[in-house]
Amino acid sequence: MEEMFFYPGCGLKSGAEGYYTSIRSVFAKLDVNVRELPDWNCCGAVYPLSTDNLIQRGAPIRNLVKARSQGAEVLYVACSMCYNVLKRAEQFAQTRQEEMKRVNELFEEYDDYSGGVEIRHISELLLERLQVVDILGTPQEKKVAPYYGCTLVRPAEFAVPPRILEDILKTVGYTTITFRNTDRCCGAYHSINRPDITRTRVTEILTDAVNEGTEALILSCPLCEYNLAAFNMVDLPILWLTQAVGLVLGVSDLGLEYNRSVIEPFTREASHHE
């Protein structure tokens, strides 16, 4: 059995438990054991854009230091925001030697870190495994649309491969829809100070998806999921990527009970039947 070093992040432990549950069971079905990085910490959720406040670099880079100390060459991330932060932090560690001298002072008990842990999104391994493992989903007409949001695809330098979510969903038998708002921001952290902005953005995204014939929205960002579910006026089923894959592969433990949106009858109809 292959093993993947896995960074869950805060989201998968609080609110997105259904994502974590389905990651474990879907990857088990694909012969991959999920090994959680011990003693991980919050990555900071947003990549620090200021270059002169180095303390903000500590949180993401500490996780890279921990991963290296465990012998990890690749660290897999599921949350879109964590993925973006850790991937950019790894590039920072590799390229900013001067600043890293200061950052490394935070981790005196470890050897200096200057990069070396590759950050990958779980969708990359998921597609690779689906292509080699002899498992086919039930071909079906269910139309699903991936919602990429922002941090999985921007900045372009750190993006997952183009259309990777469509490729995964097609591989397991879905019909996919790419809608205009697929990578337009949901309102992100505005939900605290300006929920009106989030509500407007979410309504536009969901209405667009529904108008294109989408029967379920598929995503990988816990912040998007929270916002979309909170203002889901059109009752569009919202599922984690691995839940959508698990349903058609006949995986039973998908953590569907955690979902905040109404997902029946979609999940029942999409489920794999022997």
What mask of x and - would describe binding to other proteins in positions 160 to 189, judged by CB under 8 A? ------------------------xx-xxx
Type of residue at 199: R
- Does 127 contact other proteins by CB under 8 A? no
Tokens standing for 26?
């879907």
What is the number of other CB atoms lying within 10 angstroms of the CB of residue 17?
15
- Note the helical H segments in the chain: 17-29, 55-69, 80-95, 97-104, 122-132, 164-171, 190-193, 195-211, 222-230, 241-249, 266-270
Nearer to other proteins, 30 or 61 (CB): 61
Tokens standing for 134?
């002899």
- Does 223 contact other proteins by CB under 8 A? yes
Contacts (Cβ under 8 Å, ≥6 apart) of 272? 137, 138, 247, 248, 249, 250
* Closest listed residue to residue 217, CA positions, set 149, 268, 140, 131: 149
What mask of x and - would describe binding to other proteins in positions 200 to 219, judged by CB under 8 A? xx------------------
- Does 152 contact other proteins by CB under 8 A? no
Nearer to other proteins, 174 or 242 (CB): 242
Least gap, CB of 40 to other proteins (angstroms): 13
What mask of x and - would describe binding to other proteins in positions 56 to 95, judged by CB under 8 A? x----------------------x-x--------------
Least gap, CB of 135 to other proteins (angstroms): 32
Nearer to other proteins, 18 or 173 (CB): 18
- Three-state DSSP at 8 gives coil
Q: Among residue numbers 13 through 52, which ones bind other proteins (CB under 8 A)?
A: 14-16, 42, 44-46, 48-50
Q: How far apart are CA 18 and CA 257, in angstroms?
A: 7
Binding site for other proteins (CB under 8 A): 9-11, 14-16, 42, 44-46, 48-50, 56, 79, 81, 150, 154-156, 184-185, 187-194, 197, 200-201, 222-223, 226
